[in-house]
Every structure is written in C-alpha cells, then in structure tokens.
Amino acid sequence: MKGRLLLLLVLCFTAGLHTAGAQSKSKSKTPDAVSSGISGKADLVSRMAWWRDARFGMFIHWGLYAVPAGEWNGKTGYGEWIRTSAEIPLDDYDQFRTKFNPVKFDADAWVKMARDAGMKYIVITSKHHDGFCMFDTKETDFNIMTTPFKRDPMKDLAAACKKYGLKFCFYYSIMDWHHPDYLPRREWEKERTAEGADYDRYVAYMKAELKELLTSYGDIGVLWFDGEWESTWNEKHGREIYDYVKSLQPKVLVNNRVGAGRLDMEGLTKEGAFGGDFGTPEQQIPATGLPGVDWETCMTMNDHWGYNKADKAFKPTREIIRMLADIASKGGNYLLNVGPTSEGLFPKESVDRLAAIGRWMKVNSEAIYETQASPFRQLSWGRCTRKNSADKTILYLHVFDWPADGKLVLQGVLNTPEKASLLADPQRTALKTDRNEDALVIYLPKTAPDTINSVVALELQGKLDQTDPPVFATEFDMFTDSLSVNLTSDREHVEIRYTTGSQEPVAASALLTHPLTIKTTTTLSGRCFRDGKPVSGTITREFRKTDPLKAQEQERAMYPGLRYQYYEGAWDSLPDYHKLVPIADGVVPDFIFTPRNQDDNFSFVYTGFVMIPETSVWFFYTSSDDGSRLYIDDKPVVDNDGLHGSAEKQGTIALAKGYHKIRVAYFDRTGSDNLLVSVKSQTQPKQVLPKSWLFFN
C-alpha cells in the first residue's frame, strides 16, 4: 500500500476487527524558504549546502552593554537589553562609549576558540537593539570608531575567519533604540519626541549600513536579522531587504527574522509567511525533526546574551554536548552564544566549555558534520544522526545511557550490518553484532569511552530499510464512555498486528483491520510486520475509562459572560491573589483585557461557568504571553505560568454535560501580551472556547 497507511481500528471486545480504507495524509506544509525576489529553490540548495553541513556555529553578543556588564543602580540582572530594561536615558547610555576600550580583544584567539570547539561559522552583533554599531560605519557616529578603541573589530574578525576557515556572519537588529527615525519610541522615553521621525528614512539608513557590511568585510555567510517584531516592520520591508542583501552578495543566507512571520521563540515561520532561508528557534529545541525545513536553534551558555558579570548560571558541558547531538539528530543547526567582556575577553566559563566541547568534537565531529536527521522517531538510550550514500548508510548512534548489559539494541532495522565501531576507538575495531528479529544488537565494551556521549558508527549495506513502531494517532489516553483508536505507519508494505496487553505482538497476533472502539480500560500493543516477519519494535499504551466530573447544580440564574478582577503589579509569575486587592472588577463577554489602565504589568482573574455541551474527556488549552493558569471545578487543568513569549499549554479533564466552574488567571509583565483559551473533546475539534459557553451567576 503506497503512502501513509491509516488503519482505523474498531475492536468491540465482543467482536472482531475490520479496516476502514487507507487514506493519504496531506504533506506537512513547509514555510516559504525563499523570497519572491532574486533566488529560487536551486539557488537555495547550493547556497545552503555549507550551512547544512556545518551544524554548529558561534553566536557573539558584543556591544556597549558589556560596559555595565548587567548592572545598573545596584541591580545586576540586566543584559544586552539594559538600556530599555533599566530605562537608561539616551545621553546616560551614550556615556558608555567613553568607557568602551577592549584592549584585550584578540580576533585570532576568538576565532581559534570557535574553530577548536568545532564551530564552522561565527555570527556577531554588528548592531544590536541599542543602535550602537560595532563596525566602522559612515552612517552614524554612534559606533566603535568614536570610542577609545578607535578600531573596527569586525575587520579583524573577518580576516581571522578567512585565515582559519570559518564563515563570517553578521547579526543586525531592525529595532533601533537610538536612531531618531526609528519608531516606535520606548514607551518609558516620554521626553524623547518622535516628532519628525521618518521610518522610511530609517529603512534607507538600514540599507546603507547593510551595504557597508556586505561590501567591506569580504564574503558574508549569513545576515542574521533580529528585532523584527514591532508593528512598524512588515513583510514588505522584509522581502525588500532580503532581495537587497542578496543583490549585494547573492550567496549570503538570511534568517526568517528579516520577515514578519516568525512564531515567537518557537522561531519557525507562520504558514504562508515569508521565511527567509531558515527558521530560528530561540533557547529551545523543536520536539521532533522538521522534514523540509531548515532551522537553527540559538542558545545562551548562561542566562544572558550580552555579558553579565553576575550571571554564573552556565550550562554544564554535558548538557551542551547532548543538545548539539539532539539538534543534529533533528536536522538542525546549533548557534551557541558567547557574551564577551568590555575588555574583549570571553568569560572563563565560556572558554572552558568551548575547550571541552572541542575535545568531544575532535573525536566525534564526523557524527555531526554533513549529517542528516535521525530516521528513528525515538531512541531510549540517546540520539542518531546519519549519512547516506548510493550503496551504504552510516548511522551514528549517540549513546547517552550506556547499556548495563553491554547490548545496544536498535529496533526496526532490516539492513545487513557491514561494521559497527566506536568513534573513540582509534583502531575502529569491529564490534560484534547480532540480529534478533527486526532488531540489530551491537555488543559494546563494559564501560563507555565518553560518559557524556559515546558514538557508535554503524555501517549498513544499501539504502536504509528501517521501520518505526506504528503510531497511536489519538491524543486521548482516557475516555468517559468509549474511545476510537487509530494506529498508523508511514512505511510501505507493512501490516499492523496487535495484542490487548503489553505483550509484544508476534506473527500469529491479530491483524489490525478494523476500527477499535474501546469501552473499558485497555492496554494495546502494536507492531509492524512484513511477509509474516516483524519489521519494527512495539508501541504500548493504556487507555483508561474515567468517570466524568458531575455538572454543577444550577441554583441561580445564569447570565452570559464572566466576572473579572483586574490587578496591577510587576510579577515574574502569577501572583498570590489572596494577598492582593483588585483595582477593578466587573463582567466581560470572555477573556479580554479591558478595561485596564496600562499596557504592561497587569493581571486578570476570570471566574464563572462553562456550559459543557457533551459528556467527554476535554482538552483545555491556554496560549498566553506571559503566564496563565486554568481551573475547572477548582481543579488545576492547565499550568502555563511564567515569564514567556506566546506559548501554549494543555491539560485534560473528564466532564459530564452541564455547567462547570471555570477560573482563568493571567498576567503580563512587559512587551506583547495575549491570552487565548481553546477546547477540544473526543468528538469536537479544537476551537477557541465559544463565548456562548460562558456564564456567571
């Protein structure tokens, strides 16, 4: 059977099974990876080749903000946003110029540290949001040449990158808190008039600077835009700048932050929006690979991008190395940040980590460079990267958890193994391998050569023939009355056999050919077979029958809407409302932010009833910036608390038809704000919680 095979399984415990036909699934949509401008797909493939092979780069956030080093008025939690986070007036901030003299800056030393860590490119802030230019620009005197340093460090870095074979790349912020034509002003900068500001003139300024960056420093690998989220910037600007940059250096890559379609910190591009050449998840790694999408996770080593002398919360090397493997196993790049001091030095903690990463890469870099994403959905002991050739496949097995019995089991691989060996073994001595049905077993030495990540190179004959276990397509683990269960496999020529329990299906197990309606708590195990032989591992899951919460007795008349209480304050998480007095209260039609007195530092608590239209297990979701929590009948269902960009969390609860109490708490600190409450049941698709379901009494 071609394409995705969807087997709808209906198994009445008293009756047999039958298959509802196969249906192909729509291809996942990948964002528009190129603009309407100069480049097309063919150009993209050749332009992206070095970047896709590189897998690992260094991010450098270096600027005037290194002078205060995170401290202002006795507070030490700032970073590269210090000018606006600490509300430093322009003239006071400009004073840092007189103190910026990185006499210990050594471009060769920086680039060699990146190279020796196994990094293939460097992206450095040419201009961050503060508007200070770290390069010799003729467009403004707010630049490095007007500091005591009087030298263009970008020239030195470009030369050093050329010398040591790394790609040199620029970060450039669209948002600019210094340029008189940039809008909007910071809301706290009351005295800084926007009178006469001309945003088109600011875009012209940007283009003039981009021309300097792309004509004065040799080949530039990437133009890494940022600060694109304010309302003055739009997709039209993005496409124009993308095409302009490409006209100056046709091979340069441009990230998706040149546009206006980035999905916040998730970093990928909204469907249909202009996405530059690659997506940019920030401080997070996508849960799975994203076939057909180029993406790069950027991440700090501690908690700040710019240098903060008090921030010692550096990630352990172990975590960084494993994240590098995780990202590569999903087909992404890792852009790891360093925030140098105002003297021009990398913090010692960064230097130590780069050296340790370099020691690991010296042994294992072939398992990172030029690799493709893992073919496995999940591996219990680590990650996998791979290389394909016409007649061979190499799987790099990144073993985080060394098997106590010395047996590394790789399920669902039918190829004949040619050789398995440890990258840490200079002789690459062949390890013993065996086959157990669909599984390859590799016999490992007693101790792992590397406690963080030991890599086994498994060379297989021919094109990979690998099958994952089937997938339970349903999201519901519990049900109130009955549950229909789907199992799918995207492999060709396979059939799915199952057992009602946790035992592994065998060739004689029942063939899944009918939709399953489960009416009692059931454990189901599924496995793929071909020509009577297992070709995958087994997936097992329990589906639990649960009693729905009874509906509330309706003692008083119900009216449409919700009650709300409005609070003001600066919180990093949802406050303890018992200690607060609301500033206002009243009734609203649903989860809206009016009335409120200010754009930041506020909170709403909504209370009332939700009229649940059917007895079912319900998913509730809150999508919010910043934190939120949702309760049903006083039980916590969704916890989406915390200081974060727009993010969605979910929870489930079984409810009987009728009124149930609902309470939603939300807070916003600064910046953007939003709250969306959605629902889904076993029969109703996900939807924004309808206003018509909301009542108060």
Q: Does 298 bind ligand FHN (CB under 6 A)?
A: yes
Report the distance separating Cα 114 and Cα 109, nearest Å.
Answer: 9
CA 281, distance to chain mean position in Å, is 4
Question: What's the min distance (Å) between Cβ of 448 and ligand FHN?
Answer: 34
Rule CB under 6 A: is residue 619 a binding residue for ligand FHN? no
- Shortest Cβ distance from residue 461 to ligand FHN (Å)? 43
C-beta closer to ligand FHN: residue 125 or 385: 125
State the CB neighbour count (10 A cutoff) for residue 452. 18
Binning the chain into helix, strand and coil, the percentages to the nearest 5 are 20, 30, 50
| Shortest reach from residue 59's CB to ligand FHN, in Å | 7
Q: Is the CB of residue 438 less than 8 Å from the CB of residue 535?
A: yes
Segment 97 to 126, residues that bind ligand FHN, using CB under 6 A = none
Q: Shortest Cβ distance from residue 671 to ligand FHN (Å)? A: 10
Residue 56 or 631: the one with the smaller Cβ distance to ligand FHN is 56
**Helices (DSSP H) in 580-664: which residue ranges?**
none
- Nearest-angstrom CA–CA distance, 634 and 631: 5
Phi first, then psi: what are they for 223, rounded to 5°? -100, 110
Q: Which is nearer to ligand FHN, 176 or 438 (CB)?
A: 176
Q: 580 and 593 in contact (C-beta within 8 Å)?
A: no
The pair of three-digit structure tokens given for residue 247, joined into one six-digit string: 């006209």
Residue nearer to ligand FHN on the CB measure, 80 or 277: 80
- Shortest Å, Cβ 240 to ligand FHN: 22
How far is 82 from 64, CA to CA, in rounded Å? 10
Q: Among residues 339, 496, 466, which one has the least CA distance to residue 5?
A: 496
Beta-carbon contacts of 385 under 8 Å, excluding residues fewer than 6 positions away, are 325, 328, 329, 367, 368, 371, 372, 373, 374, 395, 396, 398
The answer to whether 351 and 74 are in contact (CB under 8 A) is no
* DSSP line for 303-361: S-SS--TT---PPPHHHHHHHHHHHHHTT-EEEEEE---TTS---HHHHHHHHHHHHHH
Q: Decide whether 65 or 604 has the Cβ nearer to ligand FHN.
A: 65
How many residues interact with ligand FHN (rule CB under 6 A)? Answer: 6
Positions 13 through 32 that interact with ligand FHN (CB under 6 A): none
Least Cβ distance, residue 501 to ligand FHN (angstroms): 48
Residue nearest to ligand FHN (CB): 305
Smallest distance, ligand FHN to C-beta of residue 319, A? 19
- Of 80 and 294, which has the nearer Cβ to ligand FHN? 80
Q: Closer to ligand FHN by CB, 62 or 305: give it.
A: 305
Q: Which of 285, 295, 225 is nearest to 260 (CA)?
A: 225
CB of 306 to ligand FHN, least distance (A): 7
Query: Measured from the CB atom, is 257 or 514 closer to ligand FHN?
Result: 257
Q: Which is nearer to ligand FHN, 80 or 209 (CB)?
A: 80
353: its two tokens: 């980590």
| Residue 195 neighbours by CB under 8 Å, 6+ apart | none
* CB nearer ligand FHN, residue 282 or residue 625: 282
Tell the smallest beta-carbon distance from residue 626 to ligand FHN (Å). Answer: 15
Using omega within 30 degrees of 0 as the cis cutoff, is the peptide bond preceding 243 cis? no
- Per CB under 6 A, contacts with ligand FHN among 252-291 are 282
Minimum separation from the CB atom of position 226 to ligand FHN (A): 5
Helix (H, G, I), strand (E, B) or coil at 140: coil
Cis previous bond, 595, omega within 30: yes
SS3 163: helix
Phi, psi (degrees; rounded to nearest 5) at 615: -70, 125
The minimum distance between CB 165 and ligand FHN, in angstroms, equals 25
Q: Which CB atom, from 277 or from 282, has the smaller least distance to ligand FHN?
A: 282
C-beta of 582 vs 642, nearer to ligand FHN: 642
User: Which positions from 59 to 98 touch ligand FHN by CB under 6 A, shown as an x/- string?
Assistant: ---------------------xx-----------------
Name which of 297 and 411 has its Cβ closer to ligand FHN.
Answer: 297
**Residue 226 interacting with ligand FHN (CB under 6 A):** yes
- Cα gap 104→446, rounded to integer Å: 47
How far is it, in rounded angstroms, from Cα 549 to Cα 536?
40
Window 304-333: contact mask with ligand FHN (x via CB under 6 A): -x----------------------------
Handedness of CA 170, 175, 178, 183 (dihedral sign): positive
Report, in Å, the least distance between residue 81 CB and ligand FHN. Answer: 6
Compute the least distance from the CB of residue 662 to ligand FHN, in Å. 33
Residues lying near ligand FHN in the complex (CB under 6 A) are found at: 80-81, 226, 282, 298, 305
